[in-house]
Amino acid sequence: MWNLFGQIGEKQERIEILDWYHLIENLYKVGGSFQRIDEVKYFLWKGEVDAAISCFEGWSEPQVENFIIYLNKHKHRIVNYGYLQAEGISIGSGSVESKIKQIAHRLKITGASWESGNVPQVLRHRCAYLNGCLF
């Protein structure tokens, strides 16, 4: 998915944010005490990835190592979620996932006027509209 976002606009024109739900879903795969999970969630909520990783010092389980790799891979996408939420900026990808399903469904409707080759152009127009660039 991230490579598709790489094709939308210039890098300095977008901010990639790792979906909070998916981030925490991966944290719960690690397991451990509720106290440790809450501590890691606290740091991740503030975008403090290094502090979150330090909570796993001394752990060598494969799921912990996989989660640390995941955090490092997406470090630049893990932001201060509390700030974004306070500013009214979405920290989840549910609405985007819903629109993708709607577009996929629309393409499958018998007699639909959309063709697969036109989807990128439709998405560009939708992004322009949402960004206030389409008059």
Contact (CB, 8 A) for 122 and 103:
yes
pLDDT at 42 over 90: yes
What is the reported pLDDT for 59? 87
CA angle 104, 22, 99 (to 5 degrees): 20
Helix (H) or strand (E) holding 110: none
Mean pLDDT, residues 63-78 taken together: 95
Mean pLDDT, residues 87-106 taken together: 74
**Structure tokens of 24?**
């925490």
Helix (H) or strand (E) holding 54: helix 49-54
Contact (CB, 8 A) for 79 and 44:
no
Percentage of the chain lying above the pLDDT 70 cut = 81
From start to end of the chain, where are the E strands? none
| Per-residue pLDDT tens digits for 29-40 | 998 889 999 999
Helix (H) or strand (E) holding 5: helix 2-5
Contact (CB, 8 A) for 15 and 80:
no
Q: Quick check: pTM over 0.75?
A: no
| Per-residue pLDDT tens digits for 73-92 | 999 999 999 998 898 877 77
Contact (CB, 8 A) for 84 and 24:
no
